[in-house]
Amino acid sequence: MLFINKIKLVLLLGLFPYYGISQISFEDVTISSGLRAADSTANLAAKEEGFDGPYSWGHRIVWADIDGDELPDLFVGRWPNILLHNNGDGTFQDISVSSGYRQLKDEGHGGISFDRDNDGDRDWFANGNRHYTNTEKVVDVLANNDGLGHFTDILTSSTALFEAPGSISNQTRGVGAADFDGDGYLDLVAVSWSEIKGGDKTDGTSNDHVFWNDGTGKYLTATTLGTDGNNQGVQTIDYDGDGDIDIYTNIRDAPNHLYRNDGNRTFTEVASIAGIALDNKESDDGAAWGDIDNDGDLDFACGGEVYKNSEGVFTKISTFPNYDGYMMVFGDLDNDGDLDLIIPGNEASFNKNKGSLQVYNNDGDGNFIIIGATGITPPKGDRRGVAFSDFDGDGRLDLGISDKRDFNSLFKNTTANVGNWLKVKLYRANGQIDAIGSFVYVYSEGHIGEPSALLGVRFAEGATGYSAQNDPVLHFGVAGHSKVDVRVKFPEGNATDILNVDVNKVITVVEKAANSKQKP
């Protein structure tokens, strides 16, 4: 196996230099983890239901601990869907049926794990595409988690307005969650595909909506965002750092949209003003957001291009040749303190570009250098969702990949000589787990709030790329630092500082009613 050594010097605020030498490498654990067996079982179930797809149209991949054992479990969208329980020993148990997940009958595109009722566990919202058939009403899926990882469909006319408005051909694709109106409860966003059954033509309308949580976990009012194009991915982000959550949508046949949150449940489309109204046709189905240069704001990658953020205006800094695929994803693969980049590519037989999976190393300034072979060798199929989680708890980010026309894949990060790490689990003051919409800043010990001492920033996302969700427990590489300071800026601006934090562990931060400090 070929590797490229990465040597980086970190010299910060008079500290001794740290020389981090990493050989980024992964091991294919698709079979040993149990994922391949679950795929095969699902294929048999699909045949029994008369499904004619070769590998059941996998799109979604979502990481989330559903039963409170502090181990990230894995949702894989396909038909029928798969839910894998993390056993804690590198293997997963197929609980698709026993958990009630498969009985939800969602279609397998967008899905999001989120706390709809602020009870401290992760519930479920997913698209109800019903697999391109017009034989039943098109509705999305809302399910309650009992806290032990068992899901119950609670969608009725009295709990949510999830019937796709307008033509029955309008099918939900990307979904996301965030508290858009600042009332402390997670709202939902769903974007739709307007394909007419039997072809790739569009009827010209899609119905993209924000569904408002009424404070009891019900969604009985909605705001229309847009009605044009075939929408794919959606991300909930704070691109301008103003404390409220904005929305970015990826559109297959028109420029992408950025909806700036103006408060009072209103949004303004500003993608052109911000410089990210991309129109890369079939190559910009999902976007990645992350701080690639550790300057405190969210940068952007989509459609084979990387953009830096300056006060909410984006400038293109990189273009990747021969890019193809549904999304790009950021993650610190070697724990050196900067976000690296994976482009999953797409090698399906029908795809003219045949883009292969590529891994890029961040040089620390937001410039990306390709790394050659790393051991990430998924089937040469139609790769869709890509998401990170440290599923084995060793402090290194592992990788899951969904595939529409081949088996799904799981890769364990085996990189040697990695830096130290920290993981941060969040709660709102009202009990809501994950505190979607929060920023977490990690600084050198003793220098909290100093821009030059910033080691990394993470944003608690309500969706990732295209039909994906990274583990909501936020991962930081901190290179050679043995202690750090942590600042969490919760939605609406309430900040909590935790000082003198030992690394190589998971910490939990709970929002306080006013600015405060917590002991590590």
Rounded CA gap, 466 and 472, in Å?
Answer: 16
| 26-413 topology per CATH | Methylamine Dehydrogenase; Chain H (2.130.10)
* pLDDT higher than threshold 90 for residue 9: no
CA distances (Å), 315 to each of 39, 182, 277, 309, 442, in order?
Answer: 41, 30, 12, 7, 25
Q: Tell me: the pLDDT tens digits for 224-241?
A: 887 667 788 899 999 999
CB atoms within 10 A of CB 354: 13
* pLDDT higher than threshold 60 for residue 517: no
Domain definitions of the chain by residue range: 26-413, 420-510
pLDDT class for 420, splitting at 50, 70, 90?
very high
Rounded CA gap, 506 and 343, in Å?
Answer: 28
Burial of 246 (0-12, 13-18, 19+ CB in 10 A): buried
Return the CATH architecture of domain 420-510: Sandwich (2.60)
Mean pLDDT in residue range 139-146: 88
| Residue 514, pLDDT score | 55
Instruction: Please give the residue that has the higher pLDDT: either 264 or 354.
Output: 264
Rounded CA gap, 453 and 449, in Å?
Answer: 8
User: Is residue 193 classed as helix, strand or coil in its secondary structure?
Assistant: strand
pLDDT class for 13, splitting at 50, 70, 90?
very low
| Residue 23, pLDDT score | 84
* pLDDT higher than threshold 60 for residue 381: yes
Rounded CA gap, 467 and 457, in Å?
Answer: 23
Q: Tell me: the pLDDT tens digits for 390-417?
A: 999 999 999 999 888 788 899 999 999 9
| Residue 499, pLDDT score | 97
Rounded CA gap, 129 and 173, in Å?
Answer: 8
CB atoms within 10 A of CB 398: 25
CB atoms within 10 A of CB 364: 16
| Residue 138, pLDDT score | 56
Top-confidence range, 15-29, 127-141, 182-196, 332-346: 332-346
Q: Which of 133, 130, 68 is nearest to 105 (CA)?
A: 130
Q: Tell me: the pLDDT tens digits for 237-287?
A: 999 999 999 999 988 878 899 999 999 999 999 999 999 998 876 668 889
| Residue 194, pLDDT score | 67
| Residue 449, pLDDT score | 96
| Residue 224, pLDDT score | 87
CB atoms within 10 A of CB 148: 11
Lowest-confidence pick of 24-28, 326-330, 370-374: 370-374
pLDDT class for 351, splitting at 50, 70, 90?
low
Give backbone dihedrals phi and psi of 440, rounded to 5 degrees, phi first: -120, 125
Whole-number mean pLDDT of the chain?
Answer: 84
| Residue 295, pLDDT score | 96
* pLDDT higher than threshold 60 for residue 21: no
CA distances (Å), 514 to each of 33, 446, 490, 511, in order?
Answer: 44, 22, 11, 8
pLDDT class for 344, splitting at 50, 70, 90?
confident
> What percent of the chain lies above the pLDDT cut of 70?
82
| Residue 126, pLDDT score | 86
Top-confidence range, 1-5, 167-171, 199-203, 268-272: 268-272
pLDDT class for 6, splitting at 50, 70, 90?
very low
Q: Tell me: the pLDDT tens digits for 429-487?
A: 999 999 999 999 999 999 999 999 999 999 999 999 988 999 999 999 999 999 999 99
CA distances (Å), 216 to each of 116, 212, 454, in order?
Answer: 8, 11, 38
Mean pLDDT in residue range 307-332: 91
| Spatial contact of 313 and 333, defined as CB atoms under 8 Å apart | no
| Residue 406, pLDDT score | 80
CA distances (Å), 280 to each of 22, 283, 369, 382, in order?
Answer: 34, 5, 23, 18
Rounded CA gap, 221 and 313, in Å?
Answer: 32
